[in-house]
Chains A and B, each alone.
Chain A
Amino acid sequence: MRLELGTFPVAELRFGSETRLDGARLTVDRDAVRRLVAEDLTFSRVDVEIVRPGEACRVIHVADTVEPRIKVAGPGAIFPGTLGPLENVGAGRTHRLSGVAVLSSVEFPWRRVGGVILPTEAIVDMSGPMAAYTPFSETLNLVLVLDLQPDLTDEEYERAVRLAGLKVAAYLAECTRHLPPPRVDVLDLTVQDPSLPRVVYVWQIYSLETYGGQYWYGLRLDNLFPTLIHPNEVVDGALVSGQHTAPNVKHCTWLNQNNAVIEGLYQAHGRDFNFAGVILVRGRYTTVEEKQRVANQAAKLAGLLAADGALVTWESSGNAQMDAILIVQACERAGIKTVFLTTEYGGHEGTDVPLIYHVPELDAIVSTGSVDQRVAFPPMPRAVGGATVRLRPEVGGIRQSATAAIVPDRRTELYCSGHQLGTGRITCLEY
């Protein structure tokens, strides 16, 4: 599977009469985007806004972020199985617009209390102290502000929102179809150097129910059994996020597309390691047996790939960390040297226990920061997506002004701040 990934860096984003890319300036036909999304009658109203890094504004009700990409050559189309037809992807040529993201903003209805299945408020600040915690304070964001028709099902809402972001992302990238990309990376694992160690990437995702899913070629992965995928498939948008219940720790579609571990392994391929493959597993099982079974299977697949080493990441929070730690343990016991990327706990002051589970095999850990430390959003003059944010679902929801200071209960509302894919530069150091 040989994929040429052409990158068009975008430094400027603005509205104009047609959607086009001139050098690094992307102009967007606002009405065309609006019409494209509004085709889906699930939406009662569609607005399109732009927010830029450094602006004194925030986006609320953030649902997903997607990088604009299209396939210009090779089998299949971008976001196969959801937007594109059901055909294997990962070969040929794909174009991407880097530095820009399609951000969907929608308030899903709350129809029950308690538990993990509630879609939760999610906020991106484009400047100020909370900006650095999310990747999307550094991207030019085209924001789709969506209102939902009442009295439809959660499934319809989730699907419509997911598709809207993908549609617009593909639409934006379309303007590069006949342009030569300033940079082309060749993603090809066919040639493996027998003198280098073989490294696999074990990628734990989380998927559960309507507002908690990850989608592989359009299939929600609640019942994913450990499997082998090709990283190029993810580059071509085969893994799409429909996760809205834990916005701080989720892997949004953009993070899937720009998985820093996959990028790093591609860069190291043929130099330090052979990138031997990607094993995709689901985590956060509710019995120890199910967790252990997945760990055993993942280690076995890594062994079948003749892995000497492994990198393990996980999605979500809480007991899903245990699923991932069991994978690390199973790999180490199979003689596969493993490095674990994880957020840590440690309580508000960072003095409590950092991990929820300990095994001696956990001897090589990279910390992607703490998810426990208190954060607070400062007042912000402009909020895109609505006038109020919705907090504290367990008491039925408390509304407050979106432009005022916001002190969240946990960091749940801090969009994509606690993911474990190693994209960011945040970690924890001891004092």
Chain B
Amino acid sequence: MTDQPLRLVHYLNQFFGGIGGEEQADVGVSTRDGAVGPGLPLQRALGGRATVVATVIGGDNYFNTHLDAARAAVVEAVGRLKPDVVVAGPAFNAGRYGVACAEACLAVEAALDVPTVASMYADNPAVAIYRRRLYITPSGEHASSLAAALPPLANLAVRRGQRAELGPAREEGHLGRGIRRPVFVEQTGAERALAMLRAKLRGEPYVTEIPLVDYEVVPPAPPLADVCAARLAVVTTSGLVPMGNPDRLRRSYATEWKKYPLAGQERLAPGEYEVVHGGYEAQYANANPNYVLPLDALTELEREGAYRDLYPYFFTTAGVGTPTDVGERFGREIAAELQAAGVDGVVLTAT
């Protein structure tokens, strides 16, 4: 570790950069020597650990309407300065400013491999979008909270500039990038639970150890105009496979889905199929595979004209321990195949 102070470049918007207010929000990217505006107290917070060598200023509107050009301009400006770390904000609760800070940081990291830290209010809309890709330290909602926002920003900037291996978010002072890792701590789970209950019963503050997460909302597909005219396909996450599991489908943490022919069967026969799912009692489906893939009912209904025809393959995987993004990939891949085959609707059985 060198004794020289780290070289730090500070990104600000047009207002904090001293160019002007909202009316100057379309201004492009410029550079000023040394620290500007909030960069001055930032320098004091950094002390001798780092020097604000320059300030890069961009208009909030410009950044949001000319994203590629703005990114390129920031990269060019920072590239010339060769800093050890780039700091952006604090953007407080200003959404466009938050986005600009985040985009500036991402561009610099990608193009120049320079570490960055941004600062903004935890509920700034940019946080939800960018938190997983950036280190963001918290600030208050308004500019009046600047003084309190600077120490965590300065400290993490120094750590990032030193390319130190970072510890948990709560130790490093940032909002967290949504990566949860196992850690051994001092107190047992039971001790922490009793302490948490004590606080909860007394009405004292406590911090839950697992924040609740919202799933992405997927808008429903529009309904079929006439299911009698529809081609359907059947998909299952029950882990149903031909007997012997010929493709060695995994019973958990699926990495792939498989497709098997229905081959004109009217129902699935026991002894020809088996379940390789690791998460439920398989004997019922093993004895009668139609419980998880209702081919007998589908055949009957097709004969009666309830729908036009059934895609002659079924899609299967074992739905246990499947990460969300892997499940999404499966869905996209299967959907692509179904669309190419003219399938209108899917019956999906989940165990």
Interface on A for B, CB 8 Å cutoff?
Answer: 112-117, 132, 197, 199, 208-209, 260-261, 263-265, 268, 272-273, 286, 308-309, 311, 317-319, 337, 339, 341-342, 344-355, 358, 360, 362-370, 372-373, 393-395, 409-410, 420-431
A358 to B181, CA, bound (A): 21
Q: How far is the CB of A257 from chain B (nearest CB, A)?
A: 14
Interface string of B199-210 (1 = CB under 8 A from A): 011000010111
Top 10 A-B pairs, shortest CB-CB distance? A422-B189, A115-B282, A422-B190, A260-B190, A394-B251, A429-B168, A430-B176, A347-B323, A350-B180, A394-B276
Flag B302-318 by CB within 8 Å of A: 1 or 0 each: 00000000000000000
A350 contact from B181, B187, B198, B206, Cβ within 8 A: B181
Do the beta carbons of A430 and B179 come within 8 Å of each other?
A: yes
- Chain A residues with CB under 8 Å of B283's CB are 112, 115, 117
Residue of B nearest to A267 (CB): B194
- A114 pairs with B168, CB closer than 8 A: no
Chain B residues, CB < 8 A from A337: 197, 200-201
A423 to B184, CA, bound (A): 12
- B185 close to A (CB within 8 Å): yes
Which of B189, B276, B282 has a CB less than 8 Å from the CB of A341? B189
B215 with A353: CB separation less than 8 A: yes
Tell me the complex Cα distance, A33–B321, Å: 41
- The distance in angstroms between the C-alpha atoms of A261 and B196, with both chains bound, is 13
25 contacts between A and B (CB under 8 A): A114-B282, A116-B280, A132-B184, A199-B201, A209-B281, A264-B194, A273-B198, A311-B193, A339-B197, A341-B190, A353-B324, A358-B212, A364-B196, A364-B206, A365-B209, A366-B193, A373-B181, A394-B245, A410-B253, A424-B189, A425-B189, A426-B185, A427-B183, A428-B209, A430-B176
Report which B residues bind A (CB closer than 8 A).
132, 166-170, 176-194, 196-198, 200-201, 206, 208-210, 212-215, 239, 245, 248-253, 274-283, 286, 320-321, 323-325
Find out whether the CB atom of A114 lies under 8 angstroms from the CB atom of B239.
yes
Question: Which residues from A are CB-within-8-Å of B170?
Answer: 429-430
**Can you name the residue of chain B whose Cβ is closest to the Cβ of A395?**
B248
Chain A residues in 8 Å Cβ range of B275: 114-115
Determine the chain B residues whose CB is within 8 A of the CB of A426 once the complex forms.
Answer: 182-185, 189
Contact of A430 among B169, B189, B194 (CB under 8 A): B169
Most central of B196, B201, B250, B278 by chain A CB within 10 Å = B278
Max chain B CB contacts within 10 Å: which of A114, A370, A393, A423?
A114
Residues of A within 8 A of B253 (CB): 348, 409-410
Q: Nearest Cβ in chain A — how far from B279, in angstroms?
A: 5
Q: Which residue of B lies closest to A354 (CB)?
A: B210
- How long is the Cα–Cα vector from A371 to B265 in the complex, in angstroms? 40
Verify B200–A364 contact, CB threshold 8 A: yes
Asked whether A309 lies within 8 Å of B197 as measured between CB atoms, the reply is: yes
- Report which of B166, B176, B210, B252 forms a contact with A342, defined as CB distance below 8 A: B210
In angstroms, Cα B241 to Cα A395, docked, is 12
A286 touches B132 (CB 8 A): no
In whole angstroms, how far apart are the Cα atoms of A364 and B199 in the complex?
10
Q: Is the CB of A430 within 8 A of B168?
A: yes
Q: Which of B183, B198, B208, B212 contacts A428 (CB 8 A)?
A: B183
For the complex formed, measure the closest distance between the CB of B182 and the CB atoms of chain A, giving whole angstroms. Answer: 5
Least Cβ–Cβ distance between B101 and chain A, in angstroms: 21
Cβ of A427 and Cβ of B281 under 8 Å apart? no
Q: A113-B276, A358-B213 are in contact. Are A395 and B190 (CB under 8 A)?
A: no
CA distance A157 to B70 in the complex (A): 71
Contact between A362 and B212 (Cβ–Cβ < 8 Å)? yes
Q: A395-B245, A427-B185 are in contact. Are A261 and B177 (CB under 8 A)?
A: no
Chain A interface mostly: loop
CB distance from B186 to the nearest CB of A (A): 7
**Is there contact, CB below 8 Å, between B169 and A263?**
no
Contact of A117 with B281 in the complex, beta carbons under 8 Å = yes
Instruction: State which of A264, A365, A370, A395 has its C-beta within 8 Å of the C-beta of B191.
Output: A264
C-alpha spacing A349/B197, complex, angstroms: 30
- Taking A350-B180, A426-B182, A426-B183 as contacts, is the C-beta distance between A264 and B190 under 8 angstroms? yes
Q: A337-B201, A354-B210 are in contact. Are A115 and B188 (CB under 8 A)?
A: no
Given A116-B280, A431-B176, the answer on whether A425 and B184 have CB atoms closer than 8 Å is yes
Contacts of A428 in B (CB 8 A): 180-183, 209-210
Q: Which residues of A contact B323 (CB under 8 A)?
A: 347-348, 352
- Report the bound CA distance from A348 to B253 in whole Å: 9
- Which of B209, B213, B239 touches A366 (beta carbons < 8 Å)? B209
Docked-complex contact B184 and A367, CB < 8 angstroms: no
Task: Tell me the nearest residue of chain B to A417, going by C-beta.
Answer: B182
Nearest A residue to B167, CB-CB:
A431
Chain B residues with Cβ below 8 Å from A197 are 201
Query: What are the residues of chain A within 8 A of B189 when measuring CB–CB?
Result: 260, 341, 366-368, 420-427
* Chain A neighbourhood of B251, CB < 8 A: 114, 393-394, 409
Give CA–CA (A225, B183) in the complex, Å.
Answer: 36
**Distance in Å from the Cβ of A99 to the closest Cβ of chain B?**
17
The chain A residue with its CB closest to the CB of B326 is A347
Q: Indicate if the CB atoms of A423 and B196 lie closer than 8 Å.
A: no
Q: Please, which residues of chain B bring their CB within 8 A of the CB of A352?
A: 323-325
Query: Which B residues lie within 8 Å of A373 (CB)?
Result: 181-182
Q: How long is the Cα–Cα vector from A124 to B185 in the complex, in angstroms?
A: 21
B236 to chain A, nearest CB (A): 14
Is A115 a contact of B180 with CB atoms below 8 Å? Answer: no
Determine whether the beta carbon of A272 is less than 8 Å from that of B198: yes
Contact call B281/A429, Cβ cutoff below 8 A = no
Interface pair A423/B180, CB less than 8 Å apart: no
Q: A311-B193, A425-B188 are in contact. Are A286 and B280 (CB under 8 A)?
A: yes
**Least Cβ distance of B334 to chain A in Å?**
20
State in angstroms the CA–CA spacing of A429 and B193 once bound together: 16
Chain A residues positioned under 8 Å from B286 (CB to CB): 112, 114-115
Contact B180 A370 (CB under 8 A): yes
Chain B residues with CB under 8 Å of A366's CB are 189, 192-193, 196, 209
Residues of A contacting B166 in the complex (Cβ-Cβ under 8 angstroms): 431
Determine the chain B residues whose CB is within 8 A of the CB of A354 once the complex forms: 180, 210, 213
- Is B252 touching A410 in the complex (CB atoms < 8 A)? yes
Please give 17 more A-B residue pairs, beta carbons under 8 A apart, in addition to A373-B181, A429-B183: A112-B282, A114-B274, A309-B201, A339-B196, A342-B210, A352-B323, A352-B324, A355-B213, A362-B208, A363-B208, A364-B197, A365-B210, A428-B180, A430-B176, A430-B177, A430-B179, A431-B166
